[in-house]
């Protein structure tokens, strides 16, 4: 099946390793990793950035292989999870930046079209997050 908003039809993507156990060369313990995650979250780092920092500086290939849970679930258990899911947050930021662009460039029809696509994606995500209980039903 093709992509929704681009002409591509490819299915190539990266895959998570099948083995659920951490590699033998990893020396980090689950407690250390959870502590690092909480410390980075208190600084205001987003969950995806936490994963990148742990991978690049701490040598943690996959948090869920070491701890048994994902980064956002660890943050939620410690009360540090973001209120709005990360993908929705960045889509809202993109829509705001397109709106600012359209205030200066009213005749940019391509930006108007892309804005409608981004807003449709936001509505679809909000609908999903409300039904799954990650957002309150009164969220606007």
Residue 73's pLDDT is 94
CA nearest to 121, candidates 82, 100, 93: 93
Task: State how far the Cα of 137 lies from the Cα of 133, in Å rounded to an integer.
Answer: 8
- Give the pLDDT confidence of 63-98 residue by residue, as tens digits: 999 999 999 999 999 999 888 999 999 999 999 999
Its pTM surpasses 0.85? no
Task: State how far the Cα of 41 lies from the Cα of 60, in Å rounded to an integer.
Answer: 17
Q: Which comes out higher in pLDDT, residue 36 or 9?
A: 36
| Average pLDDT estimate for 32-54 | 94
Helices marked H in the chain? 30-42, 47-53, 63-67, 71-77, 86-104, 109-132
Residue 67's pLDDT is 92
Model confidence at 105: pLDDT above 60:
yes
How many angstroms from the chain centroid is the CA of residue 49?
Answer: 9
Calculate the average pLDDT of the chain.
Answer: 91
CA nearest to 48, candidates 5, 89, 3, 13: 89
CA nearest to 26, candidates 6, 53, 49, 54: 54
Task: State how far the Cα of 55 lies from the Cα of 45, in Å rounded to an integer.
Answer: 14
Say which residue the tokens 């992509």 belong to: 3
Say which residue the tokens 């994606």 belong to: 121
- Give the pLDDT confidence of 113-139 residue by residue, as tens digits: 999 999 999 999 999 999 999 988 888
Q: Which comes out higher in pLDDT, residue 28 or 2?
A: 28
Residue 4's pLDDT is 75
Model confidence at 2: pLDDT above 80:
no
Confidence of residue 1 (pLDDT cuts 50, 70, 90): low
């Amino acid at each position: 099946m093709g992509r929704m908003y681009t002409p591509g039809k490819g299915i190539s993507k990266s895959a998570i390793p099948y083995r659920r156990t951490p590699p033998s060369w990893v020396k980090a313990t689950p407690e250390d990793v959870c502590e690092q995650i909480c410390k980075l979250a208190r600084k205001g780092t987003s969950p995806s950035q936490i994963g990148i920092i742990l991978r690049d500086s701490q040598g943690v290939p996959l948090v869920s292989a070491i701890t048994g849970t994902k980064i956002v679930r660890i943050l939620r258990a410690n009360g540090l999870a973001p209120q709005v899911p990360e993908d929705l947050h960045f889509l809202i930021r993109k829509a705001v930046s397109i709106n600012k662009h359209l205030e200066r460039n009213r005749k940019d029809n391509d930006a108007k079209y892309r804005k409608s696509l981004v807003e449709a994606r936001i509505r679809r995500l909000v609908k999903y997050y409300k039904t799954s209980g990650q957002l309150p039903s009164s969220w606007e």
